[in-house]
């Protein structure tokens, strides 16, 4: 593939900034060697990412999970991990790998090798091809399922480790990698991987854990450091005659609605009790009992984010015209951080093809996700959904729980967050600190007992479209404020030096 990397770090002010003094620097010009190695390995790294995207391990479909774990383990070995083993669970297998560089500090890496489902008909280029196309205003992007969530950023971290090998430079920290294949269904078995004695012992040696990300703002190049993430519950509510002495046991003619109850309407009525009249505030009994209000410091961080981030630009990127309630930008960002949510992912009942079919469906299903904030817990919230429905006479509505986990939090003054900030400063990237990501990842496994480490997402560069058609990762940037793939890869290398230096 032909590339124009404009002095390696194409589309990034970081090219010069990474040469500037900082909290830590590589010894004897090693960082220069690593940057040259990143450039030399560019085509190889992109080919590796495209090969990874071509294998779609999809937990929800139980598709290629063993192959996905095997590829993950081999990629770890190829990047320099001395050992990488496949870890069985009651679900999809995980991977545990270690790299001993004789360093004083150890960093944990969390990877996921699974991706969301996709419908090729909704994509403008094949979702498993990893085709590189021009995206106006950004540059050349790689389009594929998993491009930004999460294979692209993870591949850049692996590319950084390959660059260390190519340059003949030993990474400044030891590494522990734990990877799973069920993040996209709520990580139901990830705890089984982490709590294995050998994995837990290795993680306890770490100073922190990150999941690689590429989250620069595509317009300004700014980066937000999140001090945590919301938790999540994923479940289905199912209405049918299985648990009900009403309604049809099979689809019947819709004329019978005059005398027979409809599971679809029963489900709609149950769903309506979960939220306020406008659908925007949870009304589940006791849902807010344990919710911790924003602290004064969190409100201050949000106020600063509101000052430097542009509401109109955020609306444009989200593809919407108005925020809920049309409140102030600061109030909107406070809501984003502090409001637990009840979301309908999908509704399925009866016939949905062309034209009408005039049936009374025997079954109706709603797929929901609930985002949780401190101090809510996964187990307590699942129990509250069941109790809420039972109290209102919906005992027959089945609650089929998929997966999920608690919220996660990391201290602002932790060494991991300070290393993230130092890396961004050296790269010349403006940062803001935000209380928590509105999305979710199973960081609670690391921040909670028995691991009890700081953990978060980190990485520069840019991508978008997670879970959606035409998911993409920026490869060559035309915006000098936003890093392309090579620049982001070099930043991961520099981040390891900051982790090594900051106590």
**What SS3 class is residue 59?**
helix
Other beta carbons within 10 angstroms of residue 393's beta carbon come to 10
Q: Which has the closest alpha carbon to 63: 54, 73, 55? A: 55
Q: Is the pLDDT of residue 373 over 90?
A: yes
**What SS3 class is residue 477?**
strand
Q: What is the DSSP string of 357-416?
A: --EE-SEEEEEEEEEE-TT--HHHHHHHHHHHHHHTT-TTSEEEEEEEE--EE--TTSHH
For residues 269-286, average pLDDT: 98
Q: Which residue has the tokens 């050296």?
A: 426
Q: Is the pLDDT of residue 217 over 50?
A: yes
Q: Is the pLDDT of residue 22 over 50?
A: no
Q: Domains, the chain, ranges and CATH?
A: 14-229+409-501 (3.40.630.10), 231-288+340-405 (3.30.70.360)
Output the six-digit token pair for 424.
């961004």
Contacts of 240 (CB under 8 A, 6+ apart): 247, 263, 362, 363, 364, 398
For residues 293-300, average pLDDT: 97
How does DSSP classify residue 484? -
Side-chain-side CA neighbours of residue 25 (13 Å): 12
Q: Which residue has the tokens 């995206």?
A: 135
Contacts of 153 (CB under 8 A, 6+ apart): 211, 212, 213, 214, 459, 461, 463, 473, 488
**Tens-digit pLDDT profile for residues 455-485:** 999 999 999 999 999 999 999 999 999 999 9
Contacts of 337 (CB under 8 A, 6+ apart): 294, 298, 302, 373, 434, 435, 436, 438
**What SS3 class is residue 160?**
helix
On the 0-12 / 13-18 / 19+ scale of CB atoms within 10 A, 344 is middle
Q: Which has the closest alpha carbon to 13: 495, 488, 501? A: 488
Phi-psi region of 255 (alpha: psi -120 to 50; beta: other; left: phi over 0): alpha
CA 117 to chain centre: 15
Q: What confidence category does residue 112 fall into, taking pLDDT thresholds of 50, 70 and 90?
A: very high
pTM greater than 0.85: yes
Share of the chain above pLDDT 70, in %: 94
Q: Is the pLDDT of residue 314 over 90?
A: yes
Q: What confidence category does residue 26 fall into, taking pLDDT thresholds of 50, 70 and 90?
A: low
CA 393 to chain centre: 37
Please report the pLDDT score of residue 19 as a whole number: 39
Helix locations, 147-290, DSSP H: 151-167, 190-194, 197-203, 263-272
Please report the pLDDT score of residue 24 as a whole number: 53
Kindly report the average pLDDT of the chain as a whole number. Answer: 94
Please report the pLDDT score of residue 16 as a whole number: 38
**Tens-digit pLDDT profile for residues 153-193:** 999 999 999 999 999 999 999 999 999 999 999 999 999 99
Q: What confidence category does residue 29 fall into, taking pLDDT thresholds of 50, 70 and 90?
A: confident
Output the six-digit token pair for 314.
């955020």
How does DSSP classify residue 60? G
C-alpha dist (Å) from residue 429 to 150, 174, 220: 22, 26, 9
226/337 Cα distance (integer angstroms)? 10
Please report the pLDDT score of residue 28 as a whole number: 65
Please report the pLDDT score of residue 100 as a whole number: 98
Q: Is the pLDDT of residue 499 over 90?
A: yes
Q: What confidence category does residue 103 fall into, taking pLDDT thresholds of 50, 70 and 90?
A: very high
Please report the pLDDT score of residue 342 as a whole number: 98
Q: Is the pLDDT of residue 503 over 80?
A: no
Please report the pLDDT score of residue 25 as a whole number: 59
Q: Which has the closest alpha carbon to 284: 226, 342, 333? A: 342
Q: Is the pLDDT of residue 4 over 50?
A: no
For residues 215-241, average pLDDT: 96
Q: What confidence category does residue 11 fall into, taking pLDDT thresholds of 50, 70 and 90?
A: very low
Determine contact, residues 455/408, Cβ cutoff 8 Å.
yes
Output the six-digit token pair for 203.
């993680």
Pick 255 or 28 by higher pLDDT.
Answer: 255
Q: Which residue has the tokens 């590319």?
A: 159
Helix axis angle, 30-40 to 151-167, nearest 10°: 120
Output the six-digit token pair for 413.
């003054």
Q: What confidence category does residue 20 fall into, taking pLDDT thresholds of 50, 70 and 90?
A: very low
Q: Is the pLDDT of residue 372 over 50?
A: yes
């Amino acid at each position: 593939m032909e590339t124009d990397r404009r002095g390696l770090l194409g589309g990034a002010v970081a090219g010069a900034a990474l040469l500037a003094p900082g909290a830590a620097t590589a010894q004897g010009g090693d960082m220069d060697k690593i940057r040259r190695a990143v450039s030399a390995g560019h085509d190889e790294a992109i080919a590796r990412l495209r090969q990874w995207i071509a294998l779609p391990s999809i937990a929800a479909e139980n598709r290629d999970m063993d192959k996905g774990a095997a590829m993950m383990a081999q990629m770890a070995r190829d990047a320099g991990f001395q050992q990488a083993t496949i870890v069985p669970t009651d679900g999809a297998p995980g991977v545990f790998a270690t790299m001993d560089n004789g360093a004083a500090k150890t960093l944990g890496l969390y990877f996921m090798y699974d991706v969301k489902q996709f419908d090729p008909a909704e994509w403008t280029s094949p979702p498993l091809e990893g085709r590189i196309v021009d995206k106006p205003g950004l540059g050349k992007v790689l389009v594929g399922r998993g491009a930004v969530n999460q294979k692209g950023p993870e591949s850049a971290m692996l590319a950084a480790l390959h660059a260390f090998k190519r340059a003949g430079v030993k990474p400044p920290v030891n590494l522990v990698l734990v990877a799973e294949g069920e993040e996209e269904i709520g990580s139901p078995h990830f705890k089984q991987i982490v709590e294995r004695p050998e994995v837990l012992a290795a993680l306890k040696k770490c100073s922190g854990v990150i999941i690689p990300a590429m989250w620069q703002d595509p317009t300004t190049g700014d980066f937000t450091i999140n001090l945590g993430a919301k938790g999540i519950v994923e479940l289905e509510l199912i209405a049918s005659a299985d648990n009900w002495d009403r309604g049809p046991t099979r689809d019947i003619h819709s004329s019978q609605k005059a005398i027979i109850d409809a599971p679809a309407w029963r489900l709609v009525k149950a769903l309506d009790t979960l939220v306020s009249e406008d659908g925007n505030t949870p009304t589940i009994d006791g849902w807010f009992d344990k919710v911790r209000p924003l602290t004064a410091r969190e409100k201050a961080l949000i106020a600063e984010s509101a000052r430097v981030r542009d509401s109109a630009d955020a609306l444009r990127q989200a593809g919407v015209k108005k925020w809920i309630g049309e409140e102030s930008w600061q109030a909107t960002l406070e809501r984003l951080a502090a409001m637990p949510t009840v979301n309908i992912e999908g509704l399925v009942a009866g016939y949905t093809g062309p034209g009408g079919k005039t049936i009374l469906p025997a079954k109706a299903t709603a797929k929901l996700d609930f985002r949780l904030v401190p101090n809510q817990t996964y187990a307590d919230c699942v129990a509250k959904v069941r109790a809420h429905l039972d109290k209102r006479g919906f005992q027959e509505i089945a609650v089929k729980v998929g997966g999920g986990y608690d919220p996660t939090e990391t201290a602002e003054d932790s060494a991991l967050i300070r290393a993230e900030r130092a890396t961004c400063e050296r790269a010349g990237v403006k940062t803001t600190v935000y209380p928590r990501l509105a999305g979710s990842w199973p960081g609670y496994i690391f921040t909670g007992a028995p691991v009890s480490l700081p953990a978060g997402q980190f990485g520069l560069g840019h991508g978008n479209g997670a879970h959606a058609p035409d998911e993409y990762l920026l490869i060559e940037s035309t915006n000098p404020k936003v890093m392309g793939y090579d620049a982001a890869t070099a930043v991961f290398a520099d981040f390891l030096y900051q982790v090594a230096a900051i106590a």
